[in-house]
Amino acid sequence: MTKHYDVAVVGSGVFGAWSAHHLVRAGARVLLIDQHGPGNARSSSGGETRIIRASYGADEIYTRSAIRSLELWKRFSAESGQPLFHQTGVLVTSPANDAYLSTTRETLAKARFKFEWLSGVSVRKRFPQMVFDRDTAAIYEPDSGVLSARRAVQSLVHAAVRAGVSYQTMRVNAGEALPAKTVVFACGPWLPKLFPEVLRGRIRPTRQPVFFFGTPPGDRSEMPVWIAFREGAYSIPSLEGRGFKLAIDTHGVSFDPETGDRTISAADVRQARAILRKRFPGLAKAPLVESRVCQYENTSNGDFLIDRHPDRKNTWLVGGGSGHGFKHGPFVGEYVAAQVLGNGTTEPRFSLASKKTTRDRSVF
């Protein structure tokens, strides 16, 4: 006889895994399903590393989500006995007159999250390996850092199974009957393919190249994560011998997560090396030791989508996470579990109604 569940979660990426984790701990019978497996190379939760930071301009909802998520990530890292969180510090830079940086400063202060405001002179003195323009200002979060993405998701799924979640590797179609009262589709970049009539234009998977450059022999320099939203780039220091990670944050062309060509182009490499020459001259000629094409799957405005399907009251759509969503997995999982179990307050910004079909990115 087929076992019946309270909730089936389709997708074992960071949103789905944390949702299953919180649901089973709340006493629900949970089935977790993924077509390729947790942390697989096609997924938005695969790959080596993801940043966790609290800087979000005036978006206090994401600052507080990141703070809560950092607490839960650290706790889970300790419970797992694995190095899932790396406290590298996070440096966010922009022109000194940038309103985003000023409002970030105000929001972090309001949330009482530890940070430093650095002038151009201070940031250049603190981080001499990096080159900044004279009018640069920065926010430095010393307690933030990097998450080991693939390892974290796989560890979380294993922990959820030990807690009672049933896991299956299989493909699920949008209209397929599953042995559960409620179904949560947390399928990342596959979500708009499963529900095109609802999500067309509201979630757009895009092609995003990522590079790892070799650091010098015996290198012991300690660099923070670096984020420059206005330049459309970010970097992560070399961790566990993987190399210095540099990525382009501006949204690329439309991309199919299942069949898209993940070959890095010569133009991609030229763009990355231009950033190295400008900001990291000591790595300008560093060898490219690894590269990959991943994808973002932002909503039209950058807010998460966590809402019921408009025509299926027992179906929830959870997505729009990458490229800024991985860090928020613990908070999203708590929110999803509360909504599904009828215990939580609804956040209008996560609603389907708030997502338009034209691009207007407002969350960075």
Q: What is the residue extent of each domain of the chain? A: 5-47+149-202+301-354, 86-145+204-297
Spatial CA neighbour of 203 closest among 298, 95, 77, 282: 298
CA distance 325 to 322: 5
Query: At 119, is the secondary structure helix, strand, or coil?
Result: coil
The CATH code belonging to domain 86-145+204-297 is: 3.30.9.10
Whether the domain at 5-47+149-202+301-354 and the domain at 86-145+204-297 fall into the same CATH topology:
no
Say how far apart CA 27 and CA 23 lie, in whole Å: 7
What three-state secondary structure class fits 166?
Answer: strand
H or E stretch including 150? helix 149-162
Helical H runs in 239-364?
A: 266-279, 329-340
Q: Which amino acid is at 106?
A: E
Q: How far apart are CA 331 and CA 279, in angstroms?
A: 33
Distance CA 344, CA 85 (A): 28
For residue 179, name the pLDDT band (cuts at 50, 70, 90): very high
Overall residue count recorded for the chain in this entry: 364
pLDDT for the residue numbered 8: 98
What is the model's pLDDT at position 2?
66
3-state SS assignment for residue 308:
strand
Counting Cα atoms < 13 Å in the Cβ hemisphere of 258 gives 9
Reading the block at residue 305, the tokens are 């989508």
Report how far residue 79's alpha carbon sits from residue 244's, in angstroms, rounded to the nearest whole number: 28
Range 103-107 average pLDDT: 98
pLDDT tens-digit series, residues 29-82? 999 999 999 999 999 999 999 999 999 999 999 999 999 999 999 999 999 999
- Per-residue pLDDT tens for 311-342? 999 999 999 998 899 999 999 999 999 999 99
From CA 317, how far away is CA 19, in angstroms rounded? 12
Q: Which residues contact 179 (CB under 8 A, 6 or more apart)?
A: 2, 3, 4, 5, 8, 31
Homologous superfamily of the 5-47+149-202+301-354 domain (CATH): FAD/NAD(P)-binding domain (3.50.50.60)
Whole-angstrom CA distances from 241 to 106, 124, 194, 288 are 36, 26, 38, 13
Q: Note if the bond before 323 is cis, omega within 30 degrees.
A: yes
Nearest CA to 226 among 116, 124, 93?
Answer: 93
Condensed to tens digits (0 to 9), the pLDDT of residues 261-285 reads 999 999 999 999 999 999 999 999 9
Average pLDDT over residues 296-320: 96
